[in-house]
Amino acid sequence: MASPVNLPLSKIEGFILGIVGLASFLGLWFVISASGLVPRQFLPTPLDVVARTFHLLTEPFAGATLPMHLAKSLERYTYGFLLAAAVGVPLGMAMGWFRWLDDIVTPIFDGLRFIAPIAWVPFAALWFGTGIGGPIMIIFSGAFPPCLISAYRGARYVDGKYIEAAQMLGTSNLRTIVDVLLPASFPSIVAGLRVGAGLGWQSLVGAELIVASAGVGYMMVQGQSNVSTPTVVAGMIAIGLVGLLIDVALRQMEAFVRRRRGLA
Amino acid sequence: MSAIVFENVHRRFERDGKSFPALEGINLTVADKEVVALVGPSGCGKTTCLRLAAGFEVPTSGRVTVGGAPVTGPGPDRAVVFQQFALFPWKSVADNIAFGLRNQGVPANTRQERVSGIIKLMGLEGYETAFPHQLSGGMQQRVAIARAYVLDPEALLMDEPFGALDAQTRIVMQEELVRIARVNPRTVLFITHAVDEAVYLADRVAVMTRRPGRIKEILDVRSVRAGEQWNQHERIEDVMDLESFVHLRTHIWRSLREEKIDAVH
Amino acid sequence: MRISRRLVLGAATVSVLLIAWALLTMVTGTISTGRFPSPLQFWQSAKQILTVGYADGTLIQHALHSLKLVIMGFLVAIAVGVPLGLLMGWSRRAEALINPVFLLIRPIPPLAWIPLAILWLGLGDAAKIMVIFFAAFVPSVINTFTGVRTIESHIIEAARMLGTGRWRFVREVLVPAAAPMIFTGLRLSLQASWTTLVAAELVGALAGLGRVLNMAQQDIYPAMVMVGMAAVGVLGWGTTRLLAEVERRTMPWLTP
């Protein structure tokens, strides 16, 4: 066979190819838009988007500037995510530890699992209107499953030897939970939090598209109604960027935890 | 004539921008239809030697030839038996064995014949449609050996072929290999950690120094085997009980000990 | 014994919840049916939408419409995503070229494509498929890519040693070896397809389960919302089971 599958490229070659790929993409985008092949109204040039983003940094649109919308979004997101973690992690661990709890909760969870988090939006709207409760509930429903499952797995599949060693040493149940179970499950929990954070952020977008009166998702919907495509794209980039930052931050934390635990 | 020849082979590898020597000045010839075992301390480069002959790696200087032709890449003329078997889990036993022949464009009926033949030789009858995961380790390695043999290769390269097997299966497989080699002699280069295995199976045993690896000494087992008539004994444990066998084995252990085999590399 | 205990407890829990649900909504009135429907109301709404219809269609019509879109979007997404993942996994050059663009697109949450899709394609089916595509193709690419990259090196070396030609290598070594992870990607893609479709239909649609949910919300008809959610759940479960069955049959060599 001609070329081997897995020989890494030299750093230079990788870098150059990366630049070529990116430049081709941006260049193609620019040409298609600027030449009028696709009406500029529908496909703004990359520069249009950048200009609009700068504009939105200081000038309000749909009630607030971009940073203000972002702040609103982040506020709800934080509440929703913290709630999901605060409920999901302890419950998951308890389910991992107490079989009877697992047996009770799992059927309920399995029943609700296939309902896409976004399908809770109408109920959220009915119960909370356009208040903050709605988006929080959606974010919760997105972030909750990974937090629960990872805590559950972390607790349930803790190497039995740790538990046996603790019992052999005469540790009380509470102590076992705090000093053995919790630290041993930690890496799994942190990984789950990271996934939950990502899903929560994605759910937020969905929620804001439908039931919000502020926030980046709302800004995008307004941009769409006003046929201001650069606004929509600026919103997409902002959401993507913040989501990326959240993920990077959590990955760092996860790596840190793993190093501390001697796992990496 | 299919001989494996290492001509003044050097191999360096890079890490963190620095280069380290793995092999230095390897000169070794495995003659046509000869079985040579390569033993040495961990990290000495014996696996690298095998990979160079197989064509998975290239020497930094010097060259490796097989059957007179320089090795430039892997191919079915230098069949490899891997320690981890490397069978395709999604193919049946028969399909795994036939795969190399298909690549060579061997027509279906000839292929069928050759595959059946090797299945019989390796004691795999009845397992043709089984998947690898349904077989024990020993059986899987039989399939891997069958897959290599059926190619009718110039050279057979085995990388600790029985390393992943438990001790008892290992012994059975060693006996099997001797039996097959009688029926179907090949040029073989194999790597092993087990000195017993090397002495039992090989015509010559090459001992390597620790890294950077060089050939320290080569022992001629064939003449001892012939002279002391090891082949008279059916069972491996009877051969391993012989004084001449023990003598050779101890010699090699001492040689390895000098390389401080218990040092962490 | 463990399994039946779980079944018993599970069944018991569900029954208890159902009874509690009925009691709290219909008997004691603790939960106001303006906010949360009673089992009876749920049943009545279900009957309504199944027979007479709601939001311009019966449940079957809406469900089929949504299902059709999910399947179309999903299939297009994996038809692009899996080969792309294979290419990027196999060729370091392709990876280096494509990765930067992929990294730009990837962080954008699928639902964030909805406003753009509506701008470009309106409220019809095409916009939905576009959004599903962007949502579903990312997990397929990533998982296929990972599947290729995590193939054990000795498998690849064995294939090379056996003199495997390029296309046979892809068909008979690369793809089967990566298959388990490819299916993981497909599962995630299917999940993403459903989530995105429901969301897109909630934002604006002319038919489909999302439209049912949307109308029910606007009509302040919680029982119908519940019916809609149940339908989404059932279809989601059904398609997931179907995929699992395909997975099982495509990979008979995996230990059951």
Distance CA A146, CA A182 (A): 17
Band (C2; pLDDT cuts 50, 70, 90): low
pLDDT of residue A2: 34
Distance CA B81, CA A34 (A): 60
Residue C111 to residue A227, Cβ atoms within 8 A: no
Residues whose CB falls within 8 Å of the CB of residue B2, separated by 6 or more in sequence, listed in order: B32, B33, B66, B67, B154, B155, B187
Tens digits of per-residue pLDDT, A163-218?
A: 778 778 877 777 776 777 777 788 888 888 988 998 899 888 888 887 777 788 88
- The residue with greater pLDDT, B179 or A117, is B179
**Which residues of B are less than 8 Å from C159 in CB distance?**
88
Whether B149 and chain C come into contact, CB under 8 Å, resolves to: no
CATH of B1-77+156-235+247-265, one of 3.40.50.300, 3.40.50.11820, 3.40.50.1370, 2.70.70.10: 3.40.50.300
- The residue with greater pLDDT, A221 or A161, is A221
Q: Tokens 């388990």 label which residue?
A: C180
Residue B84 to residue C164, Cβ atoms within 8 A: no
How many alpha carbons lie under 13 Å from residue C146 in its C-beta half-sphere? Answer: 11
Distance CA B207, CA B216 (A): 6
Question: Mean pLDDT over residues A2-11, rounded?
Answer: 62
Extents of the domains making up chain C: 1-31, 39-250
**Which residues of A are less than 8 Å from C126 in CB distance?**
none
Residue B75 to residue C253, Cβ atoms within 8 A: no
Task: Extract the tokens encoding A253.
Answer: 């934390």
- The residue with greater pLDDT, C31 or C195, is C195
**Which residues of C are less than 8 Å from B90 in CB distance?**
176-177, 179, 251, 253
Q: What does residue B55 show for φ and ψ, rounded to 5 degrees?
A: 95, 10
Mutate which: A7, A24, A52, A118, vs C, most C CBs within 10 A: A118
Task: Extract the tokens encoding A220.
Answer: 């995008």
Is the pLDDT reported for residue C3 higher than 70?
no
Percent of chain A predicted with pLDDT > 90: 19
Task: Extract the tokens encoding C58.
Answer: 């019966």
Q: Nearest-CA distance from B204 to chain C in Å?
A: 26
Tally of structural domains, chain A = 2
Cα nearest neighbour of C250 on chain B:
B90
**Which residues of C are less than 8 Å from B101 in CB distance?**
none
Residue C100 to residue A22, Cβ atoms within 8 A: yes
Residue C253 to residue B89, Cβ atoms within 8 A: yes
Is the pLDDT reported for residue A263 higher than 70?
no
pLDDT of residue A1: 33
- The residue with greater pLDDT, A120 or C134, is C134
**Which residues of C are less than 8 Å from B146 in CB distance?**
none
Extents of the domains making up chain B: 1-77+156-235+247-265, 89-152
Residue C161 to residue B75, Cβ atoms within 8 A: yes
Is the pLDDT reported for residue C69 higher than 50?
yes
Question: Mean pLDDT over residues C87-106, rounded?
Answer: 90
Distance CA A52, CA A70 (A): 16
Per-residue pLDDT of chain B (265 residues; tens, 9 = 90+): 779 999 999 999 887 778 889 899 999 999 999 999 999 988 888 999 999 999 999 999 999 999 889 999 999 999 999 999 999 999 999 999 999 999 999 999 999 999 999 999 999 999 999 999 999 999 999 999 999 999 999 999 999 999 989 989 999 999 889 888 888 899 999 999 899 999 999 999 999 998 888 999 999 999 999 998 888 888 888 899 999 999 999 999 999 988 875 555 4
Q: What does residue A235 show for φ and ψ, rounded to 5 degrees?
A: -65, -45
Q: Which CATH architecture has domain C39-250?
A: Orthogonal Bundle (1.10)
Q: How many beta-carbon contacts under 8 Å exist across A and C?
A: 187
Q: Nearest-CA distance from C253 to chain B in Å?
A: 5
Cα nearest neighbour of A227 on chain C:
C119
Is the pLDDT reported for residue A4 higher than 50?
no
Residue A114 to residue C119, Cβ atoms within 8 A: no
Cα nearest neighbour of A17 on chain C:
C97
Looking at every residue in chain A, the average pLDDT score rounds to 84
Closest CA to C125 of C197, C216, C53: C197
Tell me what ipTM this predicted complex has: 0.89
Question: Mean pLDDT over residues C51-62, rounded?
Answer: 87
| Interface chains of chain C (3 or more CB pairs under 8 Å) | A, B
Whether B95 and chain C come into contact, CB under 8 Å, resolves to: no
Question: Mean pLDDT over residues A136-162, rounded?
Answer: 84
Tens digits of per-residue pLDDT, A15-33?
A: 899 999 999 999 999 998 8
Is residue C142 within 8 Å of C185, Cβ to Cβ? yes
Residue C168 to residue B103, Cβ atoms within 8 A: yes
The CA-based angle A134-A135-A137, given to 5 degrees, is: 70
pLDDT of residue C1: 54
Percent of chain A predicted with pLDDT > 70: 95
Tens digits of per-residue pLDDT, C117-136?
A: 988 888 889 999 999 999 89
* CATH number of the domain to which A229 belongs: 1.10.3720.10
Could you check whether the bond before residue B212 is cis, i.e. omega within 30 degrees of 0?
yes
**Which residues of C are less than 8 Å from B74 in CB distance?**
157, 160-161
pLDDT of residue A153: 83
Residue C161 to residue B76, Cβ atoms within 8 A: yes
pLDDT of residue A259: 81
pLDDT of residue B263: 53
User: Do A113 and A130 lie in a common domain?
Assistant: yes
For C120, the closest of A42, A236, A239 (CB atoms) is A42
Is residue B176 within 8 Å of B230, Cβ to Cβ? no
For A236, the closest of C10, C108, C194 (CB atoms) is C108
Residue C116 to residue A121, Cβ atoms within 8 A: no
For A114, the closest of C93, C164, C237 (CB atoms) is C237
pLDDT of residue B262: 52
The domain containing residue A160 runs over which residues?
A: 50-260
Would you call A172 exposed, middle or buried from its count of C-beta atoms within 10 A (0-12, 13-18, 19+)?
Answer: exposed
Q: Nearest-CA distance from C177 to chain B in Å?
A: 8
Q: How many beta-carbon contacts under 8 Å exist across B and C?
A: 66
Residues whose CB falls within 8 Å of the CB of residue B85, separated by 6 or more in sequence, listed in order: B132, B137, B140, B141, B143, B144, B164
* pTM value > 0.80: yes
Q: Nearest-CA distance from A248 to chain C in Å?
A: 11
Is the pLDDT reported for residue A10 higher than 70?
yes
**Which residues of C are less than 8 Å from B104 in CB distance?**
163
pLDDT of residue B228: 87
pLDDT of residue C140: 94
User: Do A152 and A168 lie in a common domain?
Assistant: yes
- The residue with greater pLDDT, C37 or C185, is C185
pLDDT of residue A165: 81
pLDDT of residue C75: 96
Tens digits of per-residue pLDDT, A69-82?
A: 999 899 989 999 99
Residue C157 to residue B151, Cβ atoms within 8 A: no
For B86, the closest of C154, C165, C252 (CB atoms) is C154
Residues whose CB falls within 8 Å of the CB of residue C51, separated by 6 or more in sequence, listed in order: C58
Band (C143; pLDDT cuts 50, 70, 90): very high
Q: Tokens 């053995």 label which residue?
A: A180
Residues whose CB falls within 8 Å of the CB of residue C184, separated by 6 or more in sequence, listed in order: C143, C147
Q: CB A45: neighbour CB atoms within 10 A?
A: 18
Question: Mean pLDDT over residues C77-99, rounded?
Answer: 93
What three-state secondary structure class fits B8? strand
pLDDT of residue B85: 93
